[in-house]
Amino acid sequence: MNRVRPALEEALAAERQDLLDSLRRLGVADERVLEAIGRVPREHFLAEAFQDRAYRNLALPIGHQQTISQPWVVARMTEALEVTDRTKVLEIGTGCGYQSAILSLLCRRLYTIERHKGLMGEAERRFRRFGLTNITTHLGDGSLGWPEQAPFERIIVTAAAEDIPPVLLSQLAEGGIMVVPVGGQGGEQRLYRVDKGPLGLEIEDMGEVRFVPLVAGVASSA
């Protein structure tokens, strides 16, 4: 579990407020999303060496060559999902659990899948420590979705897919929203919001992003 020095924690509390102001300036308007970001201590999701940068608008390493997303990207993805306290959400790519923690404060139940055992174990400890009891975790390949629990009203993918994954689309409820980064590692990646309406899909391009790849299968080493 990541320890945070008390003096650092105090300094970071002020920086957390500054981050909220800069997210507002960048166009994040949903006060519920901002409030959730204001409640989750991002430093606790980082190794000690990176904690002093917890409230910069940066993606940072979380081990296993993975990264915690930039707060600005977390805010936009969360906002685009339009979750309420009645929504059932699927997240692919738990990572350190930061995005999961934000969503869990806003939705009814979050199902989250991670392929790295080590990352999942750490994330689960954080969920317990912060009393986030509406999160259900699964160690496995998120590109297969979670058929036993489908359909989901919202799906968020936090690793870049080659294309909008058809399997996940099939597990999205009608009227549901999926947010997913699409593109390879060399070229450009775009963030898409997909609305599944009765007459088909409506796809909104939310702009360029940079995510680690969505990789099939469970990671072999912990």
CA gyration radius for the chain? 16
Active-site position among 69, 100, 104, 143: 69
Q: Tell me whether residue 92 or residue 209 sits nearer to ligand SAH (CB atom).
A: 92
Give yes or no for a contact between 141 and 119, defined as CB atoms under 8 angstroms apart. Answer: no
Is residue 212 involved in binding ligand SAH (CB under 6 A)?
yes
Q: Is the peptide bond before 151 cis (omega within 30 degrees of 0)?
A: yes
Q: Which of 99, 104, 171, 189 binds ligand SAH (CB under 6 A)?
A: 99
Torsion angle of the four alpha carbons 173, 175, 181, 182, in this order, in degrees rounded to the nearest 10: 80
Site for ligand SAH in 10-49 (CB under 6 A): none
Is residue 54 involved in binding ligand SAH (CB under 6 A)?
no
Residues 6+ apart with CB under 8 A from 7: none
Q: Which of 12, 19, 40, 119 binds ligand SAH (CB under 6 A)?
A: 119
Active site residue 69: yes
Strands (E), 75-199: 88-92, 109-114, 135-139, 152-157, 172-182, 189-197
Is residue 103 involved in binding ligand SAH (CB under 6 A)?
no
> Rounded to whole angstroms, how far apart are CA atoms 40 and 74?
12
Is residue 93 involved in binding ligand SAH (CB under 6 A)?
yes
Is residue 171 involved in binding ligand SAH (CB under 6 A)?
no
Closest distance between ligand SAH and the C-beta of residue 7, in Å? 25
Beta bridge partners of 91: 112, 156
Q: Which residues bind ligand SAH (CB under 6 A)?
A: 62, 66-69, 92-93, 95-96, 98-99, 113-116, 119, 141-143, 158-159, 212, 214-216
Please identify every residue annotated as catalytic.
69
